[in-house]
Amino acid sequence: MIHHDLKSLIRSRLLVCIAFAISSFSFSQAAIAQASWPDKPIKLIVGFPPGGGSDAIARVIAINLSQMWGQQVVIDNRGGAAGTIAADLVAKSAPDGYTLGLAHVNAMSIIPALGQKMPYNASTDFTPIVLLGITPNILIANVDAPAKNVKDLVAYMKQNPGKVTFGSAGNGSTQHLAYELFMHMAGTQALHIPYKGSGPVLVDLMAGHINYTFETMGAATPHIQSGKVIPMAQTRTKRSPAYPNVPTMEQLGYVGFEATAWYGLMGPAKLDPKIVDKINADVNTVLRKPEIQAKLAEVGAEDGGGTPAAFSKFITKDRNQWAKLVKDAKLQVDLN
């Protein structure tokens, strides 16, 4: 009996030792993986074609991280469906840090706020890593437009219903929703004409085929500088250093008016916190470089950096703002 008990005790202790060894090995392997990350190229998925603001920001960050990490950060442009195709690819990727996405206001805030059916859950299927920058929109006018400031424009629209035309980069874009927010807060209406991107909008605006548009600072600036369009107002609650003489919509009486594009880095859900922290710290280092700040300023990107928690909170606040607009203005947007 004693002999049998002794054998049982030895067997149970042996099993405990084996289990401990296995768990220790697994832990050490995980620790080694975290410590060696990255040990192969990283894919950064961008939801828009090359040449736009999203792509430009992604490439600035990718080049610098490649140098820091000794591994290439490869840009993978997957345009279409307002960035949701790219976001879905990120959501469904392995949470190992080797597939990241350029988070964008369309896929993470506006489309969810519009109640559109999506293949992912914007609130739960991603790990926010860091905010890269916020880009103001600017209300700009054709040089022969009937009003050259916001007060006169609102008065003209109320006196001439249906005569003023606003272009946008497309249904569901930040430019479109900036227009809808303006109409809602001003208590008036114009004719909205959606285009397929900023380029065609600006061409028609300068040609006089449309009167006004909200456009990103990066896209609008060259035409403002050439005198081909007139800046009327900015869409952040603070003035951009690049346009110190152009008032914000809030300063013109539209309290709380904020309609911006923003960019960040995200990964799939359950991304290892140690990898998240490393990426966040390294991106913050990149963003502090004066030459990087200058490059981002060229496309109007401001106020990047901060913690993952701050970025997560920022996304939630932005999404809730757009959801409130959609509800209050009873918006029904066809994205097709």
CA 175 to chain centre: 14
Neighbour tally for 90: CB within 10 Å: 26
In order of their start, the domains of the chain are 42-135+261-328 (3.40.190.150), 136-234 (3.40.190.10)
Q: What is the dihedral of CA 223, 224, 229, 235, to 10 degrees?
A: 110
Identity (one letter) of the amino acid at 242? A
Q: What is the per-residue pLDDT across 222-260, written as a single tens digit (0 to 9) for each?
A: 899 999 999 999 999 999 888 999 999 999 999 989 898
Q: 54 — phi, psi (to 5°)? A: -60, -45
Bridge partners of residue 233, in order along the sequence: 139
Neighbour tally for 163: CB within 10 Å: 12
**Residue (of 144, 146, 152, 166) closest to 228 by Cα position:** 144
Neighbour tally for 314: CB within 10 Å: 18
If residue 79 lies in a helix (H) or strand (E), which one and from where to where? none
Give the relative orientation of helices 53-69 and 217-225 as an angle to the nearest 10 degrees.
Answer: 110
Neighbour tally for 12: CB within 10 Å: 10
Residue 45: both structure tokens together: 């998925």
If residue 251 lies in a helix (H) or strand (E), which one and from where to where? none
Tens place of pLDDT per residue across the chain (336 aa): 545 555 565 565 655 555 554 554 444 444 444 568 999 999 999 988 776 678 888 999 999 999 999 999 999 998 877 788 999 999 999 999 999 999 999 899 998 998 878 899 999 999 999 999 998 899 999 999 999 999 999 999 999 998 999 999 888 788 889 999 999 999 999 999 988 778 889 999 999 999 999 998 878 888 999 999 999 999 999 998 889 999 999 999 999 898 988 999 999 999 999 999 999 999 999 999 999 998 888 777 889 999 999 999 999 999 998 898 888 877 777 666
Q: What is the per-residue pLDDT across 143-169, written as a single tens digit (0 to 9) for each?
A: 999 999 999 999 999 999 989 999 998
b/e 237-257 (16+ beta carbons within 10 angstroms → b): bebbebbeebbbbbbbebeeb
For residue 24, with 0-12 CB atoms within 10 Å meaning exposed, 13-18 middle and 19 or more buried, which class applies?
A: exposed
